[in-house]
């Protein structure tokens, strides 16, 4: 298991976030072009508790990618046949050559939400846990590049986000029956999560745990991990930026005029052209 927490970005202004997101998305576009050119198959899964920010993170990843070369997968309630043939349900969604697929929840629903809420039997759960590593190895043997993200939030954050969702006049519809049940199952979910990490985080396909208490930090961190993990043509390795300068306020005086509360970029421009 990999805990990936970019502490450098804990205090991220809106402008700094926009700048960092842009340079990461430039790399994602280059990655996608390499995937298309070389007929690669990339599957990126996002797991986590309800309200952890999975959907929003995927939107940031895919915002500037070629739409018909990516897929977004968010499956609803399985039919009885799908529930009995769990892996087959997802085999139909595995990326084709030249495609990136983002899973907003994945086959690991059977390791997390389903046993927590009793949506599957213990026999089905154990069968999944016994088979999933071998199934993923078969995917990777078939040249599927698999990245598994888990967006982590604490109990207080989840309760606050779900309440905000429920009380919002424009987002109340996002509060589902599942949300109302899961909010009181935090410790049960945690037990299944820890078992999932222990048994399914392998050398070839480790779980990458992202601190998602700050949603912007989670998006930036997961994008950073992906582009630095995968190889592609014209890759530029991006290191976390030192944002200390960008978070300070600067003053510039020119011909008696005082320019105050400048950010670092504004200060640099004035210093260059007016200094």
CB 218 within 8 A of CB 210: yes
66-100: pLDDT as tens digits:
999 999 999 989 999 999 999 999 999 999 999 99
pLDDT at residue 10 is higher than 70: no
CB 196 within 8 A of CB 112: yes
Distance, C-alpha 232 to centroid of its chain: 20
CB 248 within 8 A of CB 242: no
Mean pLDDT of 129-156: 96
252-262: pLDDT as tens digits:
555 566 666 66
Sketch out the chain's domains with CATH numbers. 2-241 (3.40.50.300), 244-275 (no CATH)
Q: Residue ranges of the alpha helices (H) in 169-210?
A: 177-182, 186-200
pLDDT at residue 275 is higher than 50: no
156-194: pLDDT as tens digits:
888 888 888 888 888 878 777 777 788 789 999 999 999
CA distance 146 to 43: 5
Lowest mean pLDDT among 5-14, 18-27, 135-144: 5-14
Q: Residue ranges of the alpha helices (H) in 12-121?
A: 14-37, 54-62, 80-84, 86-91, 113-117
CB 155 within 8 A of CB 223: no
Mean pLDDT of 31-49: 97
User: Who's near 256: CB < 8 A, 6+ residues apart?
Assistant: none
Angstrom distances, CA of residue 121 to CA of 113, 125, 126, 133, 203: 12, 6, 9, 20, 29
CA distance 251 to 266: 10
- Average model confidence (pLDDT) across the chain: 87
């Amino acid at each position: 298991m990999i805990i990936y927490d970019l502490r450098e970005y804990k205090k991220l202004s809106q402008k700094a976030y926009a700048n960092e997101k842009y340079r990461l998305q430039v790399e994602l576009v280059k990655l996608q072009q390499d995937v298309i050119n070389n007929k690669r198959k990339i599957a990126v899964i996002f797991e986590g508790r309800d309200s952890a920010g999975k959907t929003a993170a995927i939107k940031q990843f895919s915002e500037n990618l070629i739409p018909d070369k990516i897929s977004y997968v968010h499956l609803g309630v399985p039919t009885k046949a799908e529930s009995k043939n769990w892996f087959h349900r997802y085999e139909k969604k595995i990326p084709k050559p030249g495609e990136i697929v983002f899973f907003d929840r994945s086959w690991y629903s059977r390791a997390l939400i389903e046993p927590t809420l009793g949506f599957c039997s213990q026999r089905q759960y154990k069968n999944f846990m016994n088979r999933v590593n071998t199934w993923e190895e078969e995917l990777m043997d078939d040249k599927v590049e698999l990245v598994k993200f888990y967006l982590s939030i604490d109990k207080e954050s989840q309760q606050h986000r779900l309440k905000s969702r429920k009380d919002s006049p424009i987002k109340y519809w996002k509060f589902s029956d599942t949300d109302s049940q899961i909010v009181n199952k935090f410790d049960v979910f945690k037990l299944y999560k820890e078992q999932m990490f222990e048994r399914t985080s392998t050398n070839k396909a480790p779980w990458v745990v992202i601190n998602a208490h700050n949603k912007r930090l989670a998006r930036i961190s997961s994008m950073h991990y992906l582009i630095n993990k995968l190889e592609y043509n014209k890759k530029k390795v991006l290191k976390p930026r030192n944002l200390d300068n960008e978070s300070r306020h600067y003053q510039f005086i020119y011909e008696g005029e005082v320019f105050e509360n400048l950010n670092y970029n504004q200060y640099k421009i004035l210093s260059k052209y007016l200094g």
